[in-house]
Amino acid sequence: MKCSHCGARIPQGENVCPNCGRRAVGFQESEAATEAPVNNKPLMIAMIAILAVLIIVTFLAFSGRLGKKAEADLAVQTAVPAEESVETAAPTATPVPTATPAPTSTPEPTEPPDVDFLSPAPIPTYGSFILLDSSSRYLTEADLEGLTWEQLTLARNEIFARHGRLFTQPEVRDYFDAQPWYNGAIPASAFTSDMLSGIERANIDLITRLEDSLYGGSYY
């Protein structure tokens, strides 16, 4: 290198001119130029590694998309077309026609029988006796269950009728006159309780209490 002031040659490695003693200009530049080159291998290796990772990630993502697309295509290929499913569907059963019901004939109305509303109502009959053994055994309320109010009154008077008592109440008189076993001969005014047995008097009291408690008195 030459000195910039006097032009003398400066030996290599010296920074002062041997001729004029001036500091050589450009020594640092030459020294910097002779420095060892920078080692860039680690940086290049890192960049190559990053590039390789990006390539791998891109490849995997692209492979995943291809795999999903292949699965979708396979599903579409294996799916049964709508037209084919309609053709292979089981045929529906033909409805069986129901028989039309024959029209029913409307019965012609019949005329009601002629009724004489002025005639008296028929006398109720309940067989030979309402209470067959009311003169021979003590009755209980269970024996009287199921009897109507009218039947209770007639059953009480049935005990008197067995002894031939006559009745002044028309409905009671007509009822016992229709019974084959009845033979009325004693007027009501001449009939006394002494003509009755203890069983009969007890049964009359029981029926009377039931008439009073259920209906408030005698039916007739």
Question: What are the φ and ψ backbone dihedral angles of 131, each rounded to 5 degrees?
Answer: -125, 105
Please answer whether residues 144 and 213 qualify as being in contact, where contact means their C-beta atoms are separated by less than 8 angstroms. no
| Residue 202, pLDDT score | 97
Opening angle at CA 194, ends 191 and 199, nearest 5: 115
Amino acid at site 45: I
Tell whether pTM > 0.75.
no
Please answer whether residues 123 and 178 qualify as being in contact, where contact means their C-beta atoms are separated by less than 8 angstroms. yes
Higher pLDDT, 19 or 144: 144
Q: Which residues contact 174 (CB under 8 A, 6 or more apart)?
A: 123
The mean-pLDDT minimum among 31-35, 42-46, 65-69, 97-101 falls in 31-35
Taking residues 76-103, report their average pLDDT.
52
Residue 139's pLDDT band (cuts 50, 70, 90): very high
Query: CA 220, CA 214: separation in Å to the nearest integer?
Result: 15
- Whether the per-residue pLDDT at 78 is higher than 80: the answer is no
| Residue 45, pLDDT score | 85
Q: If you average pLDDT over every residue of the chain, what do you get?
A: 76
| Helix ranges (DSSP H) in the chain | 27-34, 41-78, 82-88, 141-144, 149-161, 170-177, 198-215
| Residue 68, pLDDT score | 66
Assigned token pair, 73: 């295509």
Taking residues 34-53, report their average pLDDT.
73
Taking residues 32-54, report their average pLDDT.
71
Return the biggest CA–CA distance within the chain.
195
- Whether the per-residue pLDDT at 144 is higher than 70: the answer is yes
Taking residues 112-121, report their average pLDDT.
44
Higher pLDDT, 65 or 80: 65
Assigned token pair, 214: 């259920």
| Residue 63, pLDDT score | 72
| Residue 25, pLDDT score | 62
Amino acid at site 11: P
The model's pLDDT over 52-68, given as tens digits with 9 standing for 90+, comes to 888 887 787 777 666 66
Query: CA 134, CA 130: separation in Å to the nearest integer?
Result: 9
Strand partners, 186: 165
Amino acid at site 122: P
Query: CA 183, CA 64: separation in Å to the nearest integer?
Result: 121
DSSP codes, 88-145: HSPPPPPPPPPPPPPPPPPPPPPPPPP--TTSPPPPP--SS-SSTTTTTS---HHHHT
